[in-house]
Amino acid sequence: MLWLAVVVGATILMTRYSSTPGTGGPAPITWPKDSQILFDCNRPTLVMFAHPHCPCTRASLGELERLLAQVPGGLSAHVVFLKPQGTTADWEKTELWRKASSIPGASVCTDNAGIEARRFHAETSGQTLLYDPAGNLLFQGGITFARGHAGDNPGCTALKELLREGHSNQVKTPVFGCGLFEAQCQKGDVLCKP
């Protein structure tokens, strides 16, 4: 009987954990002028901030790949990988980097010392922002419905509506992933803590 209580308790904790979003500050309402990320004046620009050692980010990258396949050429997409100060060369060039690099229509870059993440107030891996060609924020949030879980979700639905119809009732969603600036995440010792 004790083992059943342990299994049930662990299941409840895991479910609660997977559905607990990370933190995130409000994104700038206009594209930061000092950003080094390439802004597209002709179509919407999407930026996803990612921790290269966050296992939850695999699902976010999968959703980004699905989104880009459903709206081919509809936006300029960038995956920006954190590289904390003092880390070794190629610290950010993990399997997740390779996955992001293989997504048709997405460009991948390194965010040295988290400068870009701070400019955009990104705090959680998987945080995704969409700006219109005039530089106005259209969407901020995550594109998964729980930590490490791919599938239909409010974030991707909102992005598709914005890109296809020009509007959505949902312009902000929770982000599920590792903290970009937590001490253990800086070392790469990531356990996807909220």
Read out DSSP for 139-164? Answer: EEE-SSSBTTB-S--HHHHHHHHHHH
Separation of alpha carbons 78 and 76, rounded Å: 7
Res 10: pLDDT:
37
pTM score of the predicted model: 0.84
pLDDT at residue 181 tops 60 = yes
Domain ranges in the chain?
A: 41-187
> Rounded CA gap, 134 and 45, in Å?
10
- Using an 8 Å Cβ cutoff, are 191 and 35 in contact? no
Q: How far apart are CA 169 and CA 175, in angstroms?
A: 18
Is the per-residue pLDDT at 184 higher than 80?
Answer: no
Rounded to the nearest integer, the mean pLDDT of the chain is 84
Q: What tokens were used for 38?
A: 């390439």
Tell me what the mean pLDDT of segment 141-168 comes to: 83
For the domain 41-187, what is the CATH code? 3.40.30.10
8-28 per-position pLDDT tens digit? 343 333 444 444 555 667 899
pLDDT tens digit string along 31-51?
999 999 999 999 999 999 999
